[in-house]
Amino acid sequence: MNVVISTLNAKYIHTNLAIRYIKAYAAPEFNLEMAEYTIKDPAMNIVTDLHRRKPDVIGFSCYIWNIEETIQVIKMLKKINPDIIIFVGGPEVSYDVKEWLERVSEIDFIIIGEGEKAVKQLLFEIEGEKNYEELNGIGFVKEDGTYIIKPQREKLHLSELPSPYRFEEDIPHLGKRITYIETSRGCPFSCQFCLSSIEVGVRYFDRERIKEDIRYLMANGARIIKFVDRTFNISRSYAMEMFQFLIDEHVPGTVFQFEITADIMRPEVIDFLNNEAPSGLFRFEIGVQSTNDRTNDLVMRRQNFQKLTRTVTMVKEGKKIDQHLDLIAGLPEEDYHSFKKTFNEVFALRPEELQLGFLKMLRGTGLRIRANDHNYVYMDHAPYEILGNNILSFDDIIRIKQVEDVLEKYWNDHRMDYTIEYLVSQVFKTPFDFFQDFGTYWDEQGWIRIGHQLEDLFKRLYSFLKHKEVANLHIIEGLMKIDYLKNHKHRPRKPWWEDRTTKDVRSPYYQEIIEKPSLLGTAFEELQLQEKDIYKHTILEFLPFDFTAYIENGAIVERQSALVAYFDPKSLQCRLYTAPIEYFSEVSSL
């Protein structure tokens, strides 16, 4: 019997852990073939590839991000070969099983809950007596039209699961994709918008086996390893043991990502990480979601924002670990103004990334079951995103989506760190006001429907600021020039700004820099650049303020300065050097 286990990932860099667990557990009795695609792949291409594998049975791993594309593939496969047996599993189809069987008649079986044991038992029955009614963790329709839905009877003993990380066919891809690793299942919390809240308790895999798997993955080229545990640090002793192991045995260049609950992380753990962890080794993802106490109570979410703030601040001050914080718009009793307050309170922590998402009414969650309590309106099909509720209108959602769009482009991508920091702290009343005003303007210009280059992002922000008639635009333009230059590895041919000083004006300054490189400080002098290198690898611009003073204390001192950006051809980094104009003899040239 030829069995293929497949999924459609959101992106090529993602890998599916579920199908690897199922393949490992099915062996040695069954040799399952894995086939991964992305939701961007044309359905015809996926069906063609699967058909060429000549499967008797195909299983699909289903999630909110791939279910509609997966259904399209399933329907095509059944039309081509009605005899093929198709089963599906995953969080998207483990709930409302009867509804899925009614909607997609081409599905022969649905795996409910953990799939390792259920799939293997199903394969035995397909190959053998076909006594499907005796199986647990499965749903299907009998020939007489009767629905058989039998949930998983008991949780698996994780110590019995074979490793899903040791397949030879994965080795060539480990360095190019994210490797997901699981050290526990379940979540201790009961957040009503999250599927993890449905499973009571936390079960752990064997620690030493996990360490051996990580050693194997690193030895074979894995460079981004993401722990999928819902709360990695629920056990302080376990987290500390794993942190120490990764610090001691990591391969240089490897990054480990964790989902942590920040308000339960002890200060001594953070001190340990700040002192012992190499910079860039760890990355934290923290779900804040809302700072509204009533909202958190309604979704049964326990969170101490004061302690969360302490953790995020201590980690940020340590400068070792990047942090990704999540917000969810649309939670119960969080209206537009309350969400604005949440946004500003979390943005004040200045996380390296702040993701603004919108509530999705996931099947099986308490919030979806009690959706009428808050008059939720949401999409009929995945991803079930809300369209409004009793206090948040669709117009409000549109406005918040405008914020999301420019937040991603201008904060999370770190293209204009100096500029955005100045705007949100010195120009606009609050960070949310900046992102909202700019996002609305962006939408009104129709830019949301067209692509953009780096230069476009700068030009569009400058256009918005001129439209708003903001004060100190000349200062902001200077910061934008700095941000633009430091974003390049090579000397840009044509900067985004149009009022460049002429070659005749710049030339005397270049001559003085060539003759007296110490004008730009000791660090520039130590580069010992030749004249040809200066002209080939640098850009000279002028700023209306003292950039050195701004870097040192954040103060804008209006003092005209020369800025030299050096694009190092060896390190492919831009380095900035500056000096007040009065240091030069050509002041009259400006």
Task: Record the pTM.
Answer: 0.93
- Of the chain, the end-to-end C-alpha distance in Å amounts to 80
409: CB partners within 8 A, 6+ apart? 415, 452, 457
Instruction: Report the half-sphere exposure of 415 (CA within 13 A, side-chain side).
Output: 15
* Burial (0-12, 13-18, 19+ Cβ within 10 Å), 581: middle
What's the confidence (pLDDT) of residue 552?
87
Q: Where are the alpha helices (DSSP H) in 361-393?
A: 366-369
Q: What is the pLDDT along the chain (590 residues), one digit of tens a residue?
A: 999 999 999 999 999 999 999 999 999 999 999 999 999 999 999 999 999 999 999 999 999 999 999 999 999 999 999 999 999 999 999 999 999 999 999 999 999 999 999 999 999 999 999 999 999 999 999 999 999 999 998 899 999 899 999 999 999 999 999 999 999 999 888 999 998 877 778 999 999 999 999 999 999 999 999 999 988 999 999 999 999 999 999 999 999 999 999 999 999 999 999 999 999 999 999 999 999 999 999 999 989 999 999 999 999 999 999 999 999 999 999 999 999 999 999 999 999 999 999 999 999 999 999 999 999 999 999 999 999 999 999 999 999 999 999 999 999 999 999 999 999 999 999 999 999 999 999 999 999 888 889 999 999 999 999 999 999 999 999 999 999 999 999 999 888 998 777 888 889 999 999 999 999 999 999 999 999 999 999 999 999 999 988 888 888 999 999 999 999 999 999 999 999 999 988 654 45
Q: Could you say which architecture CATH assigns to the domain 165-375?
A: Alpha-Beta Horseshoe (3.80)
Closest CA to 43 of 12, 18, 8, 17: 8
d(CA 258, CA 315): 14
Do the domains 165-375 and 3-150 match in fold? Answer: no
Residue extents of the structural domains in the chain: 3-150, 165-375, 393-490, 503-589
pLDDT value at position 277? 97
Judge contact between 574 and 590, C-beta under 8 A.
Answer: no
Both structure tokens of 304:
């101490």
How far apart, in whole angstroms, are the C-alpha atoms of residue 422 and residue 143? 68
The sign of the dihedral angle between the CA atoms of 289, 293, 298, 302 is positive
pLDDT of amino acid 588: 47
Q: CB neighbours of 264 closer than 8 A, spacing ≥ 6?
A: 233, 234, 307
Q: How high is the pLDDT of residue 379? A: 97
138-141/147-150 β-pairing: antiparallel
Q: Concatenated DSSP letters for 125-159?
A: HHHTT--GGG-SSEEEE-TTS-EEEE---S---GG
Rounded to whole angstroms, how far apart are CA atoms 174 and 452?
A: 31
What is the spatial distance between Cα 565 and Cα 577, in angstroms, rounded to a whole number? 6
The architecture of the domain spanning 3-150 is 3-Layer(aba) Sandwich (3.40)
What's the pLDDT at 196? Answer: 84
**Nearest Cα residue to 303 out of 312, 348, 169, 561:** 312
Counting Cα atoms < 13 Å in the Cβ hemisphere of 583 gives 18
